[in-house]
Amino acid sequence: MPTVTAIEPRLPPLPKLWKRVPQGRVLAFAPHPDDEVAGPGGALAMHAAQGDAVRVVVASDGTSGDPDGRYTQGHFVTTRRAESQAGLRLLGVDDVRFWGFPDGHVLSETDLRNAAALAQQELAAFRPDVVYLPWELDGHADHVALHVIVARALDASGFRGLALGYEVWNAMVPDVIVETTAVFPRKQAAMLAHASQIAYTQYDHCLGGLSAYRSLVHLRGRGYGEAYRCVRGSLPAALAEPV
């Protein structure tokens, strides 16, 4: 019989708890129109409320979000952009840029390089202190591709700030939980602004449940939170709550 190597069980590090978000200029990258609110929506609302400049970049045109063909393609792109803008306004954010890349496209190495150069331009133009991007194992090809694109751009630009990975499709083992209880109703309303997507999948219900679950460790299951992994930089020690 083959030898089975025993694996020593170990606990992951306890995530930090933040009741505030870092101050500074914020640039958030979203794979599709709606990921910007579904993922870091609570944190973006908190940044906007404390007066931080916030810009969102939406990478794809979102056309795969209409599998039944209820819209013409051109009208659907316009619809999804309008939903994105409406949802972000509910969070206090009105600065959004759309790259318009094809949704669900398998990217070649050349595609990745070109997109990373575009992300690097965004970084140079906006000069963020904090960047949000999908975490590396988010369970959707477009999300993973955007993680690679933005991570390459961060390295190429010599980014010295804080980059945080957010979850949508796959739950992560987080480095930090941001308590979003106070802004959760606004995040929920922002998700509902994407009516074309809610008609297919009630992701507001699912991600609302995930946000409630994120209150389990530090908040005794009361309230809501968002989970993040540190992608670049280091977590500011001053933000960590005693636990």
Cα 83 from chain centre? 17
Per-residue pLDDT tens listing for the chain (243 residues): 566 667 778 888 999 999 999 999 999 999 999 999 999 999 999 999 999 999 999 999 887 777 777 887 778 899 999 999 999 999 999 999 999 988 877 778 898 999 999 999 999 999 999 999 999 999 999 999 999 999 999 999 999 999 999 999 999 999 999 999 999 999 999 999 999 999 999 999 999 999 999 999 999 999 999 999 999 999 999 999 987
* The predicted structure's pLDDT at residue 107: 79
* The predicted structure's pLDDT at residue 41: 98
Q: Render pLDDT for 174-194 as a digit per residue (tens, 0 to 9).
A: 999 999 999 999 999 999 999
Tokens representing 137 are 């194992």
What does the angle CA 76 – CA 77 – CA 80 come to, to the nearest 5 degrees? Answer: 80
* Rounded CA separation 85/94 (Å): 7
* The predicted structure's pLDDT at residue 3: 67
* The predicted structure's pLDDT at residue 1: 55
* The predicted structure's pLDDT at residue 105: 72
The pairing of beta strand 130-134 with beta strand 96-101: unpaired
Dihedral sign, CA of 147, 82, 88, 195? negative
